[in-house]
Structures are given as C-alpha cells and as structure tokens.
Structure 1
C-alpha cells in the first residue's frame, strides 16, 4: 500500500508548493481535485486536455517528486434535478476521465449523485425511510429512471477510456452504503466501485472492517480515503445520526469528522488496513482532512504520523511457514 493525500487540503498553495509539502511529510501518492465540490485549484482538466506542453509539465511536477497520482476527484451531483447544475458536474466528470486516461491514472472519484422526486423537481430528494410508502415510490423512480441509466451509460464511457469509477459512499446521495454500491455495480458493471471512506461508515452505524469485507469480496473497492469520525454519546441521543446541524456546530452535533486516530484508536485503523489487504486492495490510502479541531497542516501531519507505523507498504512475501 501507499500512503497518499487528497490535495484539496492545500488549495491555498500552488501545485508545486503543495506537492513539495506532501512529499516532505513522506506520502507517496496524491489525489487531485478536478472539479465539483473539491474544486480544481491544482488541475483544470479542460485546459490540460488542450495543451500537451502543460499536460507534460503537470505530469513531470508530480513524478519528479517521487509521487504518483492515485485518482482524480470531481465529487459532484451529475443527477441534480436542475439541469444546469447536473451538466456542469457531468462535464467535470467526463473531462476528468479523459485526463485520467492521458495521465494513466486508473480511478476517477465522484459521488453517485441524487435526483429529485420527479422530472420537474428543483432539489434532490434523499429517501431514507421505507414508510410512508411515498418514499419507496420515489426511490424506485430515481433508480429506474435516473441512477441506473446515467451510470450505465457513463460507466461505459469510463470503461472505454480505461478508467474505473470510485463512488464515495456519502450521505445525501443515492449510493451511500455497501448495499447501494453493489446494487448499482450489478446494474452498471464492474467499472463501478467504491471510494471507501470509513468516516461515512461510522456515522451511519456501519463497521468499516465489515464494509471492506462486503465490498472487497466483490473486488468493488477502487480507492480508499483515510478520515475518522467521533460520535458524541449525549448529542446523538438528542439529534440522531441524521443530525442536520452545520458541521461548524461541533459542540452540539451528534457526530463530527476527525483526523485519523482521534475518533478511533490505531488498533481499529490497523484492522481496517489489514482487512483491505486481506481482500486484495493494495493500492493507496489517501488522507482526507476535515477536522474542525485542527489546522490543515496539523491534522494532515498527525494523520501521517498515525498511519505510517501501521500501513503495510512492502509487497507480500511467500508464506515460508506453510
């Protein structure tokens, strides 16, 4: 495995400065934002696709520092019921796939998106209860008319360009659990896989180790984010896991994102990494910092410090004892 970082943390720095800092902390891979919610501060696909010299310089900037690009990431909502918003996120994804092919990056990360509840809807509708039955009808309509058709077509496009799709299992989107990921994968093909982030498993009540096993047995993990979560034992009883308060309301929220090791102990993280290797995932563990109690530099540095002793970065050897 390789330790990496999601470079959007360093949006206040130039590409070269951000790469230098990441390399100085000992990571071996970078995940780069190419649009959508992460933005494209360090990489504008449309421009690089039209300028071969700029493309070569971009690639050289990464490789000259001994780094690889683990994924291009353009987390957006290509199924947004407002067509203009959906089209912008779709174009970001398409350009990211085309750029990933040129850079020989194997994965583009994004969200599955979430449609509205009918053709003329204005906002996404995320059904999370089976009753009243209206929600079941909405869910059926979304998957049959929007989710499966879009990702079947878009998945074929990515596959034709030798790129896998890493969907982050994130609340508020149609694919947010191992089961919903596997449902879409069965319908749209093996190009669909997870960008698995344990932080989103914990707040939904899912054990990340078991999520790794469920998805890994289907070879459905395409990328991995390293981010932690802590659940407040008092506030969760008041607000529940679907707490709608802003992430900035950290004292009152039911749960919040934390730096690796500040929500769960290192043994738990070692179990997650061991499960990843057990199911055959031996790619990048990409640190994502969204800890409101730490600066970006401190949170990232502490995550590196906590993960480096437990990540297994050497190739598997023969079992001499067998």
Structure 2
C-alpha cells in the first residue's frame, strides 16, 4: 500500500516543485489531473501525446523522485445533454486514456456523467426516488439509452489501450453508490471499476467497510478524504443537502481532512477492509477541507493514514 496525493492541491506550483512538495510530505505516489473538473495544471496532455522525448522527460521527473503516477483523473460530464460539453468530455477522456497507455499508468479516474431525463431535455436530472412513476421512466432512459451505450464504447476504447476506468461514486452523478457502480460494471465489463472515495458514502449513510467488502476487486483506485456529518443539521434537514459548501455551519455535511470527520479507528477498519479484499495499491489524499490550510490538512491526513494503514505483507499464521 502506498500513500499519495491528488496534485490539484498544488495546482499553483510548477510541476517539479509540486513533486518536491509531495516527496517532502513523505508520499510515494501522485494522481494527476488531465482536464475536466480537475484541470490539467500538471499535465500538458497534447504535448505529451505528440512527443516521446517530452514523455520521457515527464516520467523522469516523477520516477527520479521515487514516485509513481497512481492514476490520471479527468472527471467531467460525458453524458451531458449539452452536446458540446459531452463531446469535450469524451475527447478529454480518450486523450487521457491514450496518454495513460503510453506512460503505463494503469488507471483513469472519471465520473460516469449524468444525462437528461428524456430526449430533448436541456438539463441533467439526478433521480433520487422512484415515485411519481415518471422518475423510473427517466432512469430507464438514462441507463439504457445513454449511459450504457456510451460506456460500452468508451470502456472498449480503454480496454483496447490496456487501461482500467475507475468511476468515482459521487452525488449528482448517475453512478453514486455501490448498486449503480456495479450496474454499470455488469453492463460494460470488468474494465469498469471504481475510484473509491469514502467521503461521498459516509454522509449518505453508507458504511465504507461494507461497501469495500461488496465491491471487492472492482476497486481500482482510492481517494483519501473524510467528511463531517453534522448531527444537529441532519436531525433537522436530513443528509441530501444542496446548500453551497461555504455555508458550513448550516450544512448537513462538510468535507474534512482524514481524521476530522471520522476517528482513526474508523480509518483502521477501512484499511483492514482493503487488505481483506486484496486492494494494495494507492490511497490518494484529496484535500477539500475548508477549515484548514493546504499544508496542515495534508500533513494531518498523512499522519492519520500512516497510523491507520497496513503497509507490510501479512506474516504466516503460525498459530493456526
């Protein structure tokens, strides 16, 4: 198991300076954005696709520091009813897959996307309940007419390039929990798995340990991020909260640095669950804590993960 970081945290720094900060933090992996919501601050995708020399220089900057690239991330909106946005998202995804293949980066992280509720609609529609009955009709359209056809083609493209696609289960996306992730995987094939981010599960009442046990080898990549669920606000308004993230005192949940939403025992259980299902890759810290500086948030997340993580192979069960 390695601890890494999503380098959007250092987006205002030049690439090699960002890598130096990663090493100084005691980490051994970087997740790098290639466009879409994460941006491409540390990855000149077109330049790298066009030049083998630049690719060699880029990877030398990473490997010479004892780092690996755990994944490229291009979370965006490939199923959007805005055709230009959907086209742009697909183009970013395909270029990211091509680059990952060339650089032997095994995983591309992405959102599944969110379609409109019916042909001709202009806005995406996130369905959260089955009644009135038109919601089920909308879901059928979103899955059968939009999501599955798109991801079958996109998944084959990734598979042909030897790259796995890790879909992040996220509110406001068609894939937002274990059931929806496995539905897409069942429809498309094992090239689809998940980028497991427990912060999006805690607030929805999901036990990450149970989710990990259910997903098993469908976990391709992991985000290290926590969330604080405010019991007072939840008791009044429930957990499905669309107030802006900066209204922290009013919100039902708020992203926090690891250990500041749930204690180290919870994270030890999560790390043990990863060991049980055979996940032994990277925990990539994603800092989105509005109450801490970047440096303090990263340092505290690293400290908690180093305490909770399991890094050595298990010993022989000599007592059995």
Taking structure 1 as the reference length, the TM-score comes to 0.98
Structure 1: gaps of 5 or more residues: none
Note the 1:145-164 alignment, pairs <5 A.
145-164=145-164
Runs of 4+ in 1 over 3 A off after TM superposition: none
Aligned partner of residue 13 in structure 1, secondary structure: coil
| Counterpart position of 2:312 | 314
* CA contact 1:34–1:92 (8 Å) conserved in 2: yes
Structure 2: gaps of 5 or more residues: none
Note the 1:89-108 alignment, pairs <5 A.
89-108=89-108
| Counterpart position of 1:196 | 196
Note the 1:1-322 alignment, pairs <5 A.
1-216=1-216, 219-322=217-320
Aligned partner of residue 97 in structure 2, secondary structure: helix
Q: Does 67-76 or 235-244 show the bigger shift? A: 235-244
What is the CA deviation profile of residues 187-231 of structure 1, one whole-angstrom value per residue up to 9, with x for unaligned ones? 100000010000000011100000000101xx1100011100111
1:96 & 1:239 partners in 2: Cα distance? 40
* CA contact 1:287–1:303 (8 Å) conserved in 2: yes
* CA contact 1:169–1:200 (8 Å) conserved in 2: yes
1:63 & 1:316 partners in 2: Cα distance? 27
1:314 & 1:68 partners in 2: Cα distance? 18
**CA drift at 1:306:** 1.1
Q: Does 228-237 or 276-285 show the bigger shift? A: 228-237
**CA drift at 1:298:** 1.0
CA RMSD of aligned residues (A): 0.9
Taking structure 2 as the reference length, the TM-score comes to 0.98
* CA contact 1:77–1:86 (8 Å) conserved in 2: yes
1:95 & 1:172 partners in 2: Cα distance? 25
1:46 & 1:136 partners in 2: Cα distance? 41
